[in-house]
Structure 1
C-alpha cells in the first residue's frame, strides 16, 4: 500500500454523512461496521485506487435549490464554515455541543474561490466525498460510513453527534449537493492532498522552528496556540486556528504524521497558497511539520496504540514509540521522516 493510498482511503474526504447508497464506493457485500481481514483490505484498496478519475467539477453557490432542501444545504455549509458557534464546546446551545474542540471544519477543509467550505483542491476537499463512502478505514480495519467519519472528526463533545440531528442531516444535504455534478463510482482530480515526494533525509525540527517563527507565527502565534476571537467563550472560535494545545489534533491523529502534515502545509500554507502556486518548498514544509509535531504540546491519545491493528497497513509516519519495540532508529525514522537513507 502506498502512502498516497493511505491518504486517499483515510483522509481524502472526511467529516460528512451519506443518505443515498447510489452515491458511494461499492463495498458490497460488506456494510458499515464490518471488520475486514488483510486479503479483503488489499482488494478494497486496489478497487478504490483503480477507479477512473474525473475532472474537478462542482455546482456554483447560485445553483443552490429553493425551498427546504436549499435551506438545509445552506445550514450545512454554515456549520462547516462556523463549526465552533454551532456545535463546538462553547456553542450557545448546550444541547448542540457535539464537537470536542473549538475549530471550524473549514480550517482544514478550506474554501475555494466560491467561498464554500471544502471546495479548494488538495485541501482535503468535500467535492466528491459522496462517492467515497462507505469505505475501508485502515486505522480500525473496518468499513465505515460517512456518518462514522463525522463522529470521528466532528464529534467527541459533551453531546453525542446523533445521526438524525438537524446538524448532521444538513451537512449531508450540503455534501450531497456539492457532489451532484460528479459521476458516481469515480474518483476526482484534486481530492485529498497533493502527492509530493518526501525528502530523503530526517526532517530538521530546529530549522523548522526558525521557519515557523518567520512564516507561521504571525497567524498561529509563537506558541502555536492560534488567535482567539473576542467572543471565544461564547462559541466564536479562532481568527487563526491553533496547532498546539487541546483545540487541535492529538498525538494519534492523522496530521501528527510528518508526511501528511508536510503535504498539507506545502499546498495550503501560508494562507493563500495553493498546490498550483505554493509559497513554501517541500523541504521547508517538511521541516516545519517536524517542528510542529515534535516541539509543540498537544493532547495525548489514550487509544493510539490500538490504531492500525494490521501492521501491513500502518503508515510509516505513524510515530507511536510503543509500536517500535525499543528500536529507536526505526522510531526516529518514523518521527522525522520516514526517510530511507542513513542520517549522518
Structure 2
C-alpha cells in the first residue's frame, strides 16, 4: 500500500463532515441520558450496593463487548463484577451465578434470544435483575426488577443499523452506575491503587522506598576517617553519584556527592591528602524504608538532590536510592 496517499481537499472535507456527524449524534444520545438518571437508576445502585456476592454483567454481540468493559470498570472501582456470555451461560456458565449476586443484563432491543433463554433461571435464583435496554416494552425490560432506559433516536450509522450511538449510551450509563457506587462506598485513591498495582497510580501509592532501595553491599559507604580518594573510588564502584559517610557504629554522619566533588575542586583542596569528613555534607536529607517511594521523590525534588540515604530508627545506614531508581520503578 502506498503510504503517501492523501485525500483531496473535497474528500477530506466530506470525511471530516461524516466524522463530525457521528460525534454530534453520539453526544446527543449521551446527553439524553441525563433525564433518565431517576428513581430506577437509584434502585439499580441500591441493588448493587447491597450485593453480597458479585455483579454479573451479561449481554450479546456489541452489547456484550460493552458489558465486558462495564464489568471491568465496576471491578476496578470497588464493586466486584465479572462478565458472563449469555450464549455460554445456557451451556453451563449459569453455574457462575449465585443467590448472593446481582445480574446486570443489557440488550438494545430487549429481545435478545440468548438472554431471554436464561431469564427463567435468573428469576428462579431470586437475584435482583437490572436491565439496560432501548425498548421499555421488551420482555427483558418487563421481567427486570428495575430498568434503565438507554434508547437513542437513531444510530450514528447512516443506515441506522450498526450499533453505534446505542452502545455509547450503554457504556455511559454503565460508567454512571460505577462512579455513583464508587462515591457511595467512599472508594479512595488508595483503594484504586490496590486494584491497579501495575499502573502508575499503584506504583506511586503502594511502592515503598524499601522495595527499591540499594541495600547491603550495594550501598556506597566509607568511614569518616577515610581519605577522599577512597570515597571517590567507592562512588565510582557503586555508581549512585554519592557515598554515605558513617562512624564506627555505622551511623550516618554525612554524604559526599558529585556536587560536593565539584565544590571541592573549586576550593582547590588537595584531594590526595584530604579526609572525606573534611569536605562532606553534614546533616544530609534522609528517609526511612517504610516511606512511600513517592514521598522520597518529593523530598529529593524539594531539596534539589539526586540521591537519598535511608536510615533505620537508630540512625544507622540501611539503604540508598537515586532518581534513576525512581524512574526505573515508574514512580516519576
TM-score range, shorter chain: under 0.3
Structure exhibiting the larger radius of gyration computed from Cα positions: 2
Structure with bigger strand share is: 2
Normalising by structure 2, what TM-score? 0.25
Higher percent of residues as helix = 2
